[in-house]
Structure 1
Amino acid sequence: MRSCFILLIAALLIAHNGAAQSQRNWLAGSFSPEEVSASINIGNLNRQFPEYKNRARWESIDPVYKKKLIEDGESALNYNWQTVPATVYLEYIKTGNRYLMEDLYNMNLAAIKKLAFAELAEGKARFIPQLINGVWAVSEISSWSISASLNLQRAGAGLPDVNEPVIELGAGITVNVLAWTYHLFKDEFDKESKLVTARLRQEINRRILEPYYTRNDFWWMALDGKQRMVNNWNVWLNYNMLTTILLVEENAEKRKNGIYKTMRSVDQFINYYKEDGACEEGPAYWSHAGGMLFNYLSLLQLATDGKVNIFSKPLIRNIGNYICKAYIDSSWYLNYADASARIKADASLIWHFGKAVQDTGMQQFGAWLAKDQHWEKSVPVDNMYGGFRNLFTATEILESKAQQPFLAAAWMKETGIAVARDQEGSGKGFYFSALGGHNDESHNHNDVGTCVLYYNGQPLLIDLGNETYNKKTFGPERYSIWTMRSAYHNVPLINGVEQKEGKQYAAKQVSFENKKKTAVFKADIAAAYPETAGVSKWERVYTLKRGQSFTISDNYTLRTNKGNTALYFLTSASPGLVKPGLLQFKAGDEKIFMDFNPGQFELVIEPIPITDKKLLESWPPLIHRLVFKLRPGHTKASHHIVFRKPS
């Protein structure tokens, strides 16, 4: 559970100017509230997500899974339900530490999920009393919102204002758990006391449904008439709202209008996406951005008896198979922006998304992930909806064809992301990706023109990702954090000046050409730097010669040369200077050489210790920055750096 908060709930971005890519409006623009309401069939939910009383379905799950669920539930039978002290909330504004609050709060939700799945698996009411304690305890907590998101309330960050419940990702995750618990166990709760379900319904209405029905000013809704960035918050929260409305709302008019409001809001998420389907936030966020769109659309399709179905749209398919395009090898993924390089992808989500859009590559990838994650022993039940899906479709997924998506190349033109590797269907050899784009994307880093490079599935040139989120991450000091700066990406420092944040700081004349023997990415990145850099042109070119080498070329024109221009490259491999003009890297068991002209550069190898817990999930405790200092004097020149296997 914490991983979701670390990677995703933390993504509170200050709303700013942005623009929809296209006013598609495929949901609310294509169906009226009355059409949607008339097609609602709640019974469909009970067939796909079996009720507690449907013992035959629950008895049908794999005995191995059943045993594990019950054991996990038993571990929570004596759990002491946590409160969240005021000082824990205040820690965020004092020190920037959000996890004191989140970790404590999440313990309760984790225990409720364990108890719920154990009771569903066993069906003997043994876990019901402690489950009641859990929902009662969470109902007693002042707020379901996390401390890092309380700036959404008018009182500002700090303590939660009980008179103004705000809807953000923490509240959304909480209500999803509680809505399912209410739906599944309300009859069992009533046997103990009817006040349990009454209290739970009251809190869900007060804290979530009524604010959702009556407010349009939460930035993530994108319903306030402003042009803005729309990211994972929108579809993740609207999925949780749709779930809650379907499972809890008893008023037909409110249900109709509430469901339709989710459609109006998710239209804005779809409208914001570029046609190439790339996730600006990276693959670590895909499960709760593009992947969550699948959850939302599949639930809406199910609830409307198939009436609302847009899975045939090419964009929806592109949004899905982005995760295949971002795959490198093993647990390594392309990780521009605030994304980790190593993630545990959602096998079932990818498989089912692929099935919905008829993408066999996605289905084969999902099956491979399930086998790689040893689903024959245990399936993930990190959330309620995913747990249902995994438990009842694991056999089908495990029995289907499994294959990693080693694509020879992919070009996401609108987002400016290119990928290419030595050979289709294999992780052997060189793999590279390059980024054009601009410096105002969701979870932005100043990294226009950067690249990553792998060999035999091992990283050579890397994108660090981001450190553990704190108060600076989404505030005005964001670009004081070292991992966000261009100086710690694989791009140049020009006349002592780094890249600048903002949409106007962008790549120009971006192109990608993939042929049988070569793949070439080009971009002029001069405009990613402010005027003080004094650069008129900086064409960065990445060339993959399949089966041979990878070359980085620069062709630049400066208005002045102040003698402080350098090429930066980050590596997690072990670099060593063999002789002037020749570096050697150790990547796994492989040795890779880098050739450069020592007459053009002075090379400095800087060690960078890694101490942040989140970065250590992907990288070793020591990485290096390679600084190629350009010799002074020239205002117009070119150079090449070549990676190759030993001859």
Structure 2
Amino acid sequence: MKQLFFLMGLLLIARVAPPRNYLSSALEASGLHLTLEQVQTWREARKQKVLTAIKALPDSVKASLTARADRYIDFTWPALPVSLYHEFKTTGNRTHYETRLTERRTALASLVIGELVSGDPKYMPAIADGLWATLEESTWVLPAHVGMQHIGTDLPDPDENVVDLIDGETASSVGAIQWLLSSELDRFSPVLGKRVRYELTRRVIAPYLGRNDFWWMGFNNRVPNNWNPWINGNVLVAELLTGVHADTINLVLDKVLRSTDNFVNGYGDDGGCDEGPTYWSEAGGKLIHILELASSVSGGRLDWSGIPLLHRIGSYISTMHIAGPYVVNFADATPRTLPDPVSVYGFGQYFHDDTLRHFAAYLFDLRHRALPTGNVHDFVLGVETYGALASTPAEVAAPALRWLPSVQVMVARAPDLVFAAQGGNNGESHNHNDVGNFILYAGDAPVIVDAGVGTYTAKTFSSQRYTLWNMQSQWHNCPVINGVQQKDGAQYKATDVRLDGSVLRMNLASAYPAEAAVKRWDRTFDFNPRDKTLRLEDDFVLDVRKDSTCLNFLTPCTVTQSGPGRLTFSSPSGTPLLVLSFSAAALSWQTTVKDMDDARLQDSWGKSLTRVSLVLKDPGLSGKTEVRFSMP
């Protein structure tokens, strides 16, 4: 249970604003109470629209989807032995079990999609096998998440059903299968549909309605993270598509909106997401589907399109875009992230925002117009949006400067140069110790970077999190003061944060523990879009000088000295990208090569990253350094 409590402390942040309760207030004001007949009518109408949209898909897309399904007709469903489930507890490895589980989910969804696209009954025996195999699984909860049960991380307790991300994902996919193929499943055996509803109720709906103590629900005066809209949305899908009792449907809708309010209430008015852009598709990106579903099933009686905050939660993702697949990857984010174009388009459509609609089409093209195939309801959402995405011009219109005060993130752009910096604190959701961190891209080329996140293991969400090098401030673009790094915890934060035009200032002293002996460390980022330069100033006062102090810059580039106090950062092909200028009299420089020791980090950066350290020569207790990044 200690790991679970640490996870909750890591992923939950204190409430930052009075409760707004936009979602549940609208439900209460509407007086809405759905009847079963209304829901059944809605289901049938939506189903017919989906089937029509499937028929309208390009022939090449349909051929690709059926070819994919054909690969699974004779699929051997991989076993999920108890020893594999137990690995997470004994070794910390979560990948082995999750890989097999993903194979099963992908095979089932692909077969269902093949049947929907082709109408060929040849897929039904394999669909029945896969669906039955899913319903027969001892649990739908991941080994890494089962620690929510009262006995903690172990095998799933048969006396307690908990609801996690994959429980919800499975419920929505299985629910969509029952909704779309109910007649076909009944012809195979009417027991299948009966079993689907039994398992959805037992595993998901009953514990969802019966408990308020799941941390991700937010009923504990803490603001939850992406788990909240991700699970709430999937539970809503499962109940709206398969529910047989009006009272239960209304109870689920009511609770989903009240719980999701807890998520929305944690946002600042700017819509900034402290989990970073890699999690946006599972955070804000899932929120829009809750709004769309609730609006749709209510016949428009529930409508939140006039609420600016909800709109800004969607706009956040375009703010964090750099170029191509690259994003501002603070926190547990990867540098290359392609947000879900269906979610982005959903925000654009719901809030009448052409910029988001065009950005969604741009992302759609970057994804080669591929439809989701891992979850049947995600496929449905993709089909419903395919025509609009395909016909919308792909454009990116990012603002020259955006400041998100709630998360203290600045993003600024000049032609061929993108800069982003953050203040914040070291107790944020999916936190890295990175107060005062920044990144610089020359066009679409990463130059000064955030390493991002590696493959999740048991250590990632435990008391050992900050033994991981990529979580530490010394491997971010932050100072090391008196040989001391930043400390984790919300009390370790930037203070006096202020933006004046394109100049961002903050005091980093409070981000460091007492042993750093730093009284003041004022960091100033002066971004000049006209000159395409960034001036970085660090003005400091120390109580004592007891070890080395340096400025660190992490890069995937080749670094060469091109003169005294002048370093050139070049691409792998040798093209100069940026120049770093500094006083050679005040600062010496050295490099440290960090081998990428993780598959996910290797995928981001290749074999290694290089840390450039500018070491202060003056042993005095106060001083000021200035470095400048410019185009070559």
TM-score (norm 2): 0.95
Q: Secondary structure at the match of 1:284?
A: helix
The residue number in structure 1 matching 2:566 is: 582
- Distance in 2 separating the partners of 1:60 and 1:398: 12
Q: Does 2:540 align with 1:556? A: yes
Larger CA deviation: 16-25 vs 93-102:
16-25
1:113 to 109, 113, 126: 109
Q: Does 2:517 align with 1:534? A: yes
Give the Å deviation of 1:219.
0.5
Give the Å deviation of 1:344.
2.2
2:456 to 469, 476, 486: 469
The residue number in structure 2 matching 1:156 is: 152
Q: Secondary structure at the match of 2:31?
A: helix
Give the Å deviation of 1:301.
0.8
Query: Are the counterparts in 2 of residues 429 and 547 from structure 1 also a CA contact under 8 Å?
Result: no
Deviations, residues 576-613 of structure 1 (Å, cap 9, x unaligned): 12233111110363342211111112211111111311
- Distance in 2 separating the partners of 1:185 and 1:349: 25
Q: What stretches of structure 2 of length at least 5 have no aligned partner? A: 1-5
* Residue identity opposite 1:599 in structure 2: A
- Distance in 1 separating the partners of 2:461 and 2:624: 37
Give the Å deviation of 1:15.
6.2
The residue number in structure 1 matching 2:413 is: 421
Query: Are the counterparts in 2 of residues 570 and 623 from structure 1 also a CA contact under 8 Å?
Result: yes
Compared with structure 1, are the counterparts of its residues 195 and 97 closer, same or farther at alpha carbon in structure 2 (3 Å cutoff)?
Answer: same
Q: Percent identity?
A: 31
The residue number in structure 1 matching 2:303 is: 309
- Distance in 2 separating the partners of 1:283 and 1:214: 33
Compared with structure 1, are the counterparts of its residues 459 and 170 closer, same or farther at alpha carbon in structure 2 (3 Å cutoff)?
Answer: same
Give the Å deviation of 1:644.
1.6
* Residue identity opposite 2:390 in structure 1: L
Query: Are the counterparts in 2 of residues 327 and 405 from structure 1 also a CA contact under 8 Å?
Result: no
1:36 to 23, 32, 35: 32
Give the Å deviation of 1:300.
0.9
Give the Å deviation of 1:196.
1.4
Q: Secondary structure at the match of 1:308?
A: coil
Deviations, residues 366-386 of structure 1 (Å, cap 9, x unaligned): 1122223332xx433343333
TM-score (norm 1): 0.93
Q: Does 2:237 align with 1:251? A: no
Query: Are the counterparts in 2 of residues 563 and 633 from structure 1 also a CA contact under 8 Å?
Result: no
2:614 to 628, 636, 647: 628
The residue number in structure 1 matching 2:203 is: 207
Q: Secondary structure at the match of 1:410?
A: strand
Q: Secondary structure at the match of 2:569?
A: strand
What is the 5 A alignment of 1:242-391? 242-375=236-369, 378-391=370-383
Query: Are the counterparts in 2 of residues 143 and 162 from structure 1 also a CA contact under 8 Å?
Result: no
Q: Does 2:14 align with 1:18? A: yes
* Residue identity opposite 1:18 in structure 2: A
- Distance in 2 separating the partners of 1:166 and 1:116: 27
Q: Secondary structure at the match of 2:527?
A: strand
Q: CA RMSD in A?
A: 1.9
Q: What stretches of structure 1 of length at least 5 have no aligned partner? A: 1-9, 423-427
Compared with structure 1, are the counterparts of its residues 141 and 12 closer, same or farther at alpha carbon in structure 2 (3 Å cutoff)?
Answer: farther
Q: Does 2:427 align with 1:408? A: no
Query: Are the counterparts in 2 of residues 606 and 624 from structure 1 also a CA contact under 8 Å?
Result: yes
What is the 5 A alignment of 1:60-209? 60-209=56-205
- Distance in 2 separating the partners of 1:437 and 1:81: 46
Query: Are the counterparts in 2 of residues 50 and 58 from structure 1 also a CA contact under 8 Å?
Result: no
Larger CA deviation: 436-445 vs 571-580:
571-580
Q: Secondary structure at the match of 1:358?
A: coil
* Residue identity opposite 2:508 in structure 1: I
Give the Å deviation of 1:127.
1.1
- Distance in 2 separating the partners of 1:637 and 1:511: 21
- Distance in 2 separating the partners of 1:108 and 1:364: 35
The residue number in structure 1 matching 2:48 is: 50
Count of residues in correspondence between the two structures? 622
- Distance in 2 separating the partners of 1:155 and 1:351: 42
Query: Are the counterparts in 2 of residues 561 and 635 from structure 1 also a CA contact under 8 Å?
Result: yes
- Distance in 2 separating the partners of 1:216 and 1:392: 33
Compared with structure 1, are the counterparts of its residues 178 and 291 closer, same or farther at alpha carbon in structure 2 (3 Å cutoff)?
Answer: same
Compared with structure 1, are the counterparts of its residues 298 and 34 closer, same or farther at alpha carbon in structure 2 (3 Å cutoff)?
Answer: closer
Compared with structure 1, are the counterparts of its residues 14 and 641 closer, same or farther at alpha carbon in structure 2 (3 Å cutoff)?
Answer: closer
Larger CA deviation: 321-330 vs 612-621:
612-621
Q: Does 2:537 align with 1:543? A: no
Q: Secondary structure at the match of 1:495?
A: coil
